[in-house]
Homo-oligomer: A and B are copies of this chain.
Amino acid sequence: MVVEAPAECCSLAATPIGAADAECLAKRLKALSDPTRLRVLSHVAAQGCEAVCACDLIEVLDISQPTVSHHLKKLVEAGLLTREQRGRWAHYTVVREAFTELHQFLDLR
């Protein structure tokens, strides 16, 4: 599942958004609306340009491995993270453009 960008990189303050754009933005925001996912994302983002492997997250967040895997998948599907396989490890990096779009949308004028 891939989330396409809204028709125009709209702002909340501009003319009311259409149903299609709302649907697409809601998917991105839904991926952000879980506390565990925010913490996962925060750990990856705090690493800057360095990719983070999943095993680190299991230790730090103290939740089960399937749950971490589940959340990482959701974040990748929402286009907020990218996944890169290196041997047996999976490394994750933040997609900056996705946040730029959200950032613009949340900007009231």
Contact = CB atoms under 8 A, between A and B. Distances in A.
Interface string A16-54: 110100110110011011111111011101101000000
A102 B12 CA distance: 13
Nearest to A21: B38
Interface of chain A, main secondary structure: helix
Q: What is the oligomeric copy number?
A: 2
Contacts of A7: none
A108 interface: yes
Contact of A106 (B33, B34, B103): B103
Given A30-B33, A35-B23, A15 B46 contact: yes
Interface residues of A, number: 36
Nearest to A60: B16
A35 B29 CA distance: 10
A36 B22 CA distance: 7
